[in-house]
Amino acid sequence: MSKEYFVYIMTNKSRTLYTGVTNNLMRRVYEHKNKLVEGFTRKYNIQFLVYYESTSSVHSALEREKQIKGWLRAKKIDLINTINPGWKDLSEEWHVSPEKKKE
């Protein structure tokens, strides 16, 4: 059984960008949204998933993360805009709070 790895970009209301890699995108986004991760994403309230891609190779995922992190901001924005021009939170439906489920 092949594993799946994700390279993702998250942001906040000020559009500060964070690029990461994980083997469990839902869990990792949950951790960022709930500030369970020390560091940059907690400090800057990074909570919206605006881009992701997947691969079956951990090496490819790590290389892609490194590549994207090396880009200028404008190029990262262009990448996000190719699949998500409205910068919608792609994980919005994943983590519905118990209160929202009742609505």
Task: Kindly state the helix (H) or strand (E) to which residue 102 belongs, with its residue range.
Answer: helix 98-102
Does residue 76 surpass a pLDDT of 90? yes
Rounded to an integer, what distance in angstroms lies between the CA atom of residue 88 and that of residue 72? 22
Of 44-48, 65-69, 92-96, the range with the lowest mean pLDDT is 92-96
Total Cβ atoms within 10 A of residue 61: 22
Q: Give the tens place of pLDDT for each residue, 2-19.
A: 699 999 999 999 999 999
Q: What is the CATH number of domain 5-102?
A: 3.40.1440.10
Q: How would you label 11-44 residue by residue, b for 16+ Cβ within 10 Å and e otherwise?
A: beeeeebbbbbbeebeebbeebbeeeeeeebeee
Listed by start position, the domains of the chain span: 5-102
* Full-model pTM: 0.89
